[in-house]
Amino acid sequence: MPSVHEQARQVFRSQGGILRTREALAAGIHRRTLYELRDAGELDQLARGVYRLADMPPPSDPDLATVGKRVQKGVVCLISALAFHELTTQIPHVVHLALPRTARTPNLEYPPLQVYRFSGQAYSDGIEQHTIEGVEVRVYSAEKTLADCFKYRNKIGLDVALEALRAYRARRGARLQQVLEYARVCRVEKVMRPYLEASI
């Protein structure tokens, strides 16, 4: 019969390698076992209450996976979404996260967050589900992200928004009409149209 530690490792593997404390406890892993595995270097603590098997392949984007686990209503947006979609040369030093206006502000020690409050369709439209490190993470589509970047151009810089739009337009299968539809949702159609009209 496998040891308590091996049973715990098997549970982690079956769940993609990352678990929140409450998920581990619900799966039958004792809190003491979690701490023993952490102290033995077999679990990495990504954030308070989020653990990852240390022998997993190096994480490609542990910050987004951690946020996906910890912030249920959060949607990765703006520069973090541009980086995810490979539409920027910017390296985000915080996770840019959209939340509904009424949602509680997350209390995370790590990773650092830049929270934006979205409402209505500006929050709900264009959400994609992506699996990162075995975790379901909500990320705005490339087209929705472009519209968001123009809406928040005074915060992130118009140059960042234009660079992303140029990178997007250079892709095969770019859906500029869809970008324009999201521009209407985000109320930046007049701002974006001159940059889009040449290509539609």
Tens digit of pLDDT for each residue in 77-136?
999 999 999 999 888 888 999 999 988 888 877 788 899 999 999 999 999 999 887 789
Same domain, residue pair 37 and 96: no
Residues 110, 150: one domain? yes
pTM over cut 0.85:
no
User: CA-to-CA distance for 173 and 111, rounded, in angstroms?
Assistant: 33
Q: Which domain holds residue 45?
A: 4-53
Are 84 and 30 part of one and the same domain?
A: no
Return the pLDDT at 14.
82
Whether residue 148 sits in one domain with residue 69: yes
Cα–Cα distance, 117 to 66 (Å, whole number): 20
Distance CA 30, CA 140 (A): 36
For the chain, list residues with pLDDT below 70. 1, 57-60, 62, 198-200
Rounded to 5°, angle at Cα 133 from 128 and 135:
50
Burial class (CB in 10 A: 0-12, 13-18, 19+), 19: buried
Domain total of the chain? 2
115, 106 in Cβ contact below 8 A? yes
> Does residue 86 share a domain with residue 38?
no
Q: Which of 113, 14, 25 is nearest to 64 (CA)?
A: 113
